[in-house]
Structure 1
């Protein structure tokens, strides 16, 4: 049987072939744009087309934030790097104080400061990207990745939500005979000590919440094992570079001690580095508010992770005791009986204090950093009621 095609048939077939070819090319281009040089998943900048913030709204909020600053940051000798943004548009920013007293360099918008435990949010994000692309699983046992890890019940999830039961490395390395504190401790050293010194769990796995830096030191090792890169390079390729976080980096104690912004006590005494300053994952990221704003916008974009995994970030996993405080996957939260939730993470390391607040529902980002110890950094949560139904009293004393 012979088939006869009209001219219109041939045109139709040609267009179908062209469409299929273009579709394949588009998919390939999209895939390439989401992979790093090492074939790793990259966090994508937000492409959300937010509405512009009108001048009246901006002026009103700016005046209220300035009123807050007059209460908490009136003293110009206080060190502060601070930003409030709505829909990615900066409503207010403030940079004050001397970043390095030896050189008299002031703090500017481009001065990277140690973000302390806010680093955990970024470490968790890298792990979630690896989960989202199928390189690891959320419920995967850690000992299937780190072969010498001696605790068989601990999963990636129980590291992320602080339910592993691991002891804090800052405490068990102080025990007699465990570690020579004249030597810089590394992430791999912590893993080795678990077996060499028979470090027992503080509590059974997944029985209770216990905030512990060791969890995130292990997550950094997992990132290294899965990516084949050191944590610094993996974070650069997966998060910092694609988001153009040009003033953000992971501290290297062997190379960066003389170039980073020092930290200070409240009396301006410079704090020295110690044997714990080689550990990363739980801390040791330096950044700026504007870089962290780009990170927050990307985390709140609809394209960030698949919806099911994304929802798990903002779920509270520790409900043994009735209360409002809880912890998700790399994020702290307050859950009120009204159903309102407040997502944030604070940090404190040496003289460095930090606060990262993400009001996703309202499209607001609040970031405060200081390299001179002050609890005033944590007071920025009192700005949340300017944007939504958050029961923090602006005029209350801390």
Structure 2
């Protein structure tokens, strides 16, 4: 028996070593792909909200419909229009052609160019990165975009339009030594021009408000640099996918020309593309009113931003002149002496006009999108007095 034990002990030890070795080998198999943690800060949908009563719906829809009929008689609106409370749609209309040549009509699932309302979405992505500690509001832009030439400019200044930069649509328009309009302009081209062409500032950085699309073209590049993703991918991963915005995307001029909803002049003539159509961040998000409603409600979700940061979003930064109009971090505002505040953002690009209005105290969302040129899209602000103490002249439409 003792001889048998002596014989088996080495075999047993050998078996243990082999098994142990196999276990270690399993951990370092060359074909095994390690999971990489997704560190992108993402929007989260707002949970269930208080259900509104049919009595309430009946009390407001008549007035909304009256406004709609007066503003767009005989259903002359070419676009989409929605009013919701607590995330529940109480009024919506879809009218006109998505594409006149093809005879397709605009529906709830038709994405149209939301123009400068895109800035609200770009700002939201930047703010989520700030909230996650990946960048700082007062961080200098040239610490992220190394060739950015304006040393004193910060992310906060880009968001609030206080960089002093000139609009890229103007400084690339006439001078061929700056840009040849036969070539499509990109965000990186704009940065290169700023760095090398000495286009100069419109005003000293940080001294005054000047609404400028260049600010948001640079913010889109910051999103790309910080996330390591193209802007359209970052927006999809951070905002569109998490919120179920299935009909929302960033336009890619090289790929999407033939499939997008075109825009039209007021007389119905289609508006073509130009050399500025590849720039994003300031525009070029295509969406629907229902998708934008999802986005709006998510901005009201607990934990959207830390309270102190959220407060800064709705703070006016342009107080060098006394007045009620101001601009926060990616949102326009009117601040009345009564203490009432009204937040909104409008947009215009080619024949597309848009208006996004979150009445925060009342949990009401008003959105209008049109792909046929009209300023009546902006008149939807006159619906605000239906829901709260907003001194707009609703009766003008009666």
Q: Is the structural similarity TM-score above 0.5?
A: yes
Note the C-alpha offset of 1:80: 2.2
Tell me the SS of whatever aligns to 1:396.
helix
1:83 paired to 2:82:
yes
Residue aligning to 1:71 = 70
Normalised by the length of structure 2, the TM-score is 0.89
The question of 1:121 aligning with 2:123 is answered no
Helix, strand or coil: the match of 2:346?
strand
What is aligned with 2:139? 140
Name stretches of at least 5 consecutive residues in structure 1 with no aligned partner.
1-35
Partner of 1:18 in structure 2? none
2:250 aligns with 250
Partner of 1:363: 363
Structure 2: stretches of 5+ with no match in the other structure? 1-35
Per-residue CA deviation, residues 117-158 of structure 1 (Å, 9 max, x unaligned), is 000000000000000000000000000000000110000000
| Aligned residue number for residue 284 of structure 1 | 284
Asked if structure 1 preserves the Cα contact closer than 8 Å seen for 2:313 and 2:329, the reply is yes
> Does the residue aligned with 2:75 lie in a helix, a strand or coil?
coil
2:338 aligned residue = 338
Tell me, what secondary structure is at the counterpart of 1:311?
helix
What root-mean-square deviation, in Å, do the aligned CA atoms of Structure 1 and Structure 2 show?
1.3
The answer to whether 1:104 aligns with 2:103 is yes
- Cα distance change on mapping 1:69 and 1:37 into 2, 3 Å: farther
Please give the residue correspondences for 1:1-398 in structure 2 after superposition, counting only pairs within 5 Å.
38-47=38-47, 49-176=48-175, 177-396=177-396
Secondary structure in 1 matching 2:191: helix
Which deviations, in whole Å up to 9, do the C-alpha atoms of 1:56-84 show, x marking residues without a partner? 11012111100001101123343020100
1:113–1:261 contact (8 Å) kept in structure 2: yes
Distance, in Å, in 2 between the alignment partners of 1:173 and 1:111 is 32
2:333 touches 2:341 (CA, 8 Å); kept in 1? yes
Partner of residue 32, structure 2: none
Query: Counterparts of 1:289 and 1:93 in 2: how far apart (Å)?
Result: 9
Between 256-265 and 167-176, report the one with greater CA deviation: 167-176
Contact 1:112 1:247 in 2 (8 A): yes
In the TM superposition, residue 397 of structure 1 has moved relative to its aligned partner by: 6.5
Which residue is equivalent to 2:19?
none
* Count of residues in Structure 1 that have an aligned counterpart in Structure 2: 362
Mean Cα deviation higher: 170-179 or 125-134: 170-179
Mapped partners of 1:61, 1:397: distance in 2 = 15
Give the Cα separation in 2 of the matches to 1:199 and 1:54: 57
In structure 2, the partner of 1:15 is none
Deviations 1:191-230 (A, max 9, x none): 0001221121110111000000000000000000000000
Q: Residues of 1 paired with 2:300 and 2:161: CA distance? A: 23
Give the secondary-structure state (helix, strand or coil) at the position aligned to 2:322. Answer: coil
